Structure formats: C-alpha cells, structure tokens
Chains A and B, each alone.
Chain A
Amino acid sequence: MSKTFALRRVHALAEVDLDLQPGSFYSIIGPSGCGKSTLLKLIAGLMRPSSGHVTVAGTTVTGPRRDIGMMFQQPVLLPWRTALSNVLLPIEIRDGSSAARKVRDTALGLLELVGLHGFDNVYPYELSGGMAQRVAICRMLITEPTLLLLDEPFGALDELTRDVMNLELARICESRNVTTFMVTHSIPEAVFLSDVVFVMSARPGRIADTIRVDLPRPRTLEVLSNDRFTGFVKQLRLSLAVGAA
C-alpha cells in the first residue's frame, strides 16, 4: 500500500509539494499565520485547494473521509457524554448506534491503551486536561484511520503532561503503523516525535526546509538527553531563525 500526498499551490499557500511515506511521522513547524492549519484542513478535506490537489491512499481528497483521523488543540469532548460514549461518537455518527455498540470492546481497549482503564463511565468535567486529550486520541483511533492529522494536539497542556503525552503518542504511532502529520509550535516535540520535520515560512506559506530525524525507534525519554537529539533541535531552531529573517 502506498500513500502519497501531492499538494500544489493552495489557497494562502505558495507552492507546497509534500510526499508522505506510509507509516512515518511528519511534523510541520513554523511561525503563526504561515498556513500550517490551512494545510492540515486541506489534507483533511475540510477546505478545497484553489488549485492543486491532495491525494491520500491513491485517491484524491474531495471532502472529509473516514480513513483520516483528526485531533485538535482542545479535546472537544461532548460534556454530556461519558468518556466511552465520546470515544464511540465517530462510529455512532458514521454507522449508527447499533454499530457503535458493537465496537464497545474496541473502545474500552483503546481507553486501556492510553491508561484510562476504569474511566469509561466518567464525564469530561471530571477529567484533567491530559486525560481529556487521551480520550480524544481514542476517539480519533476508533475508526482505524491510516492517516492522523494533529493540530497542536498538546499545545494547551502543561509541559510535564505534554512530555508524557508525547511519549504516549510516539508509542501509539509506532505500534499502529499509521502515517501522522502534526502541526506544532514546539521544536523538541517535533524532533522527538518525527521522522521528518518540515519548516514552514510565512507570506507566502511555503516549505523552507526539510529535516530528517533518524533517531532510533522506539523513542524513549532517554532520547531527550541524547547528543544527536540536541543537535537536531539546534539545527531546527537555526532553520526557523533563517526562515523568520
């Protein structure tokens, strides 16, 4: 199976041409307003490119589709639904309530995977920010997407929680063989999670630099103190500074 994105000359973006390999983790980093989120919405099919096209798994993206999972900066959990019911929401919307009941065990398994065993009947107002984002991860994974689009998924969390969540995300993505495309503002986060980091510059939005991070996997917290990790962080910071100048 191959999955490629070809993206050319999109609205608010200049010539952007990305080719993503299946099973890899990609990050896009750049100043605010450079069109990162626009790019993500284009890939998700939530926006139409004014010219050019997006291809996922061999077919052109014409609108939202089920093999793409999305996650936002806020968990966006529905407060009147339990954690489990929130996880089942995508199935309930796409296939109906009876289909959602059938994947209940899958959903419970996902909650267990992110360390929320026993929290299935808890309402969002009883969850911490990190726990709520874990539920959002489960909700994204329940439809078994092959492409994950993450829009600053942990940007609203404190740094300690963020480190733990990044570790969790690395583990999940490594074990599931999904392609991930993440928008972030954090240089260490981008290096820690990614195989490839795209540096974007603003006005017009374009890819200014591409950095391949060939740190070994699975990535653990020890990677953070690795010399090569620090080297990539420096390289990325420099690249962003050049782009901003």
Chain B
Amino acid sequence: MARLRRESGALEAGALVEPEERLIERVPRVVWLAAVGVLLLSLWQLLTMIGTVSPILLPGPAEVADEIVDSATNIVSGGHVAEALATTVVEILLGFIGAAVLGFGLGVLVGETRIGQTAVMPYLVGFNALPKVAFAPVFVAWFGFGVESKIVMAMFIAFFPMAVDTAAGLASVDRDALLMFRQLQAGRRKTLLKLKLPTALPYIFAGLKTATVFSVVGAIVGEYLGGGGGMGELVRLSAQSLRIDRVFALITYLAVVAMVMFAIVSWVERRVVFWQQGEELEGKAAWPTS
C-alpha cells in the first residue's frame, strides 16, 4: 500500500516537472480531422446498410460520391450543371458585392453620425434579427423569376450583418485614442480615415465573412422559391424526382463555393489586419450560422 502510494506520488511529481504531451497534442490536427470525417462517413454507411431507412431516401456515401463525380464530368464538359453553377455563382457574387458595398456605406453613415447611432442602429439590429428568408416571395413578386430576384435576395440577407458590423466597429474606438485625436486637432475626415476605419477593420472583415455565407443562402432560397436556371432549381427538381443522391452532390458543390469565398476573405483579412493575431482573431473567424 505504502509502495503503491509512493509510486503514484512519483508519477505525479514527474508529470509536474515534465508534463507528458497528451495524445491530442502529439497527433497532428489533420489526422484528427480525417479520423472524425471517416467516423461520420462510416456511421452514414452503417445507417444505410442496416436497412431501416430506404436507400431512395438516404443514399449511401458511395452513391453520393458517384453523383459528385458524374456532376463533375458534367461541369467540366459544360453541361447543364455547369450552366446552373455559373448562374448561381454569378448571383451569389453580385449579391455579395452589393451587400458589401451598400452595407459598408450604410454602416459608416450609421457609425459616424450621432443620429445614425441613436436612431438608425436599433432598426438595423432589429432587421438583422428578422428571419430574412421570409422575404423571398416578396422579392420574387417584385423582381420576377429571373436572376434579379435572387441577386436582391442574396444582397438583402448579406447586407445587414455587414452594415451592423461596420457600424459597431466604428463605435468600438478607444476613448483615449479619440481624445488623443482631438488633442492633435484631427478633423472628422482624418479621424475616420486614420483612426476609426482601421480600428473597425476586424469587425468589417467579420461582417464580410458572414456576408459570404449569407449571400449563398440568399441566392439558393431565392432559387427555391423563384425558379430560374440555377443550382437551387436543380436541387428542387432532383428532390422532387427523389434523386436524393444528386441533391447531396449538388449541395456539396454549393458548400465548396461558400467555403472558397470564406477562405478568400479570411486570406485577405490575415494580410490586411496583420496586427490582430491569436485568439482574438480566431473567435471572430468562427463559421457564422444563419
């Protein structure tokens, strides 16, 4: 008994002096990511193999992979999936750019003016909290079944986080820094350009990242409800004919589009907002949810 205790005591002391690296730290992150991915795929495969769910409603990973490859060849050869993807990507990009420009503009107006901060900001935050996809039928009624209604929908959803984050970023300026700029006799324009906008950059990029994801959501929802020739329409048609494997394949492509856009914005952010590193950035880079 005494010996046992001494042994465990020695072990503890050893752990204090030279903390043994835990398994999670020893194995590279890629391996863990791959392991969880394989686990999820296996669960999925297992679920289809048990036979409780009809393979029509839930196709296995292999079937979906087949469809992804099929669609890929279709995209490469410029088939109808390629056309749909191009249509949707254009809608997403135009919606995103529109939301970024307008959101930034309104954000600056709201964040820079007293009336904006006191009277407009609450409306922005309120609108931002609304289930904005509910407006999709309105835009279809207003702008028809073409790409316009989808662009507007994408822009509408992505606009609010962009505007709110920009305004919040401008308001986040340190009080002492403002006092210093006042003491240096900096006018409004110089204070905005040399202090407030650079301070707001991390917020603006957070808004941009949310906007990338939201513009994808907006374009797809617009297509679900307003038809047209995009990916949303293909998904809807595939689901109607119970080609769930194809639905999953198409969604995979949409996910890739969203991830590429998000990655590009993050890449630019790391280069522009170089001074903000570590956890602070990681917290803001969290994948936004709609």
Contact = CB atoms under 8 A, between A and B. Distances in A.
Contact of A66 (B176, B185, B201): B185
A72 B195 contact: no
A94 B184 contact: yes
Contacts of A94: 184-185
Interface residues of B, number: 20
A241 interface: no
Contacts of B182: 46, 64
A132 to B, nearest CB: 13
A65 B179 CA distance: 13
Interface string B153-190: 00000000000000000000010110111111110001
Contacts of A239: none
Given A64-B182, A66-B185, A72-B179, A93 B190 contact: yes
A70 B180 contact: yes
Contacts of A89: 184, 194
A78 interface: yes
B142 interface: no
B275 A72 contact: no
A64 B276 contact: no
Given A70-B180, A72-B179, A78-B195, A93 B275 contact: no
B176 A74 contact: yes
B198 interface: yes
Contact of A76 (B176, B198, B274): B176
Interface string B218-229: 000000000000
A92 to B, nearest CB: 8
A123 B273 CA distance: 12
B180 A76 contact: yes
A124 interface: yes
B263 to A, nearest CB: 23
Contacts of B277: 125
Given A93-B184, A94-B184, A46 B179 contact: yes
A89 B174 CA distance: 17
Contacts of B198: 78, 80
Contacts of A79: 275-276
Contacts of A129: none
Interface in B182-218: 182-186, 190, 194-195, 198, 201
A44 interface: yes
A23 interface: no
A136 to B, nearest CB: 9
Contact of B184 (A73, A90, A125): A90
Contacts of B183: 44-46, 64, 68, 70
Contacts of B186: 93
A74 B179 CA distance: 12
B179 A93 contact: no
A31 B189 CA distance: 38
Interface string A28-57: 000000000000000011100000000000
Which of B176, B190, B276 neighbours the largest number of chain A CB atoms within 10 Å of its CB?
Answer: B176
Contacts of B190: 93
Contacts of B274: 80
B191 to A, nearest CB: 9
A86 to B, nearest CB: 11
Contacts of A90: 184
B176 A72 contact: yes
A-B interface, 9 closest residue pairs, ranked by CB to CB distance from nearest: A79-B275, A93-B186, A93-B184, A64-B183, A76-B176, A72-B176, A70-B183, A76-B177, A80-B198
22 contacts: A46-B179, A46-B182, A46-B183, A64-B182, A64-B183, A64-B185, A65-B185, A66-B185, A68-B183, A73-B176, A76-B174, A76-B176, A79-B276, A80-B275, A89-B184, A90-B184, A93-B185, A93-B186, A93-B190, A93-B194, A123-B275, A125-B277
Interface of A: 44-46, 63-66, 68, 70, 72-74, 76, 78-80, 89-90, 92-94, 123-125
Given A72-B176, A80-B201, A89-B184, 7 more contacts: A64-B185, A68-B183, A76-B176, A78-B194, A78-B195, A80-B198, A93-B186
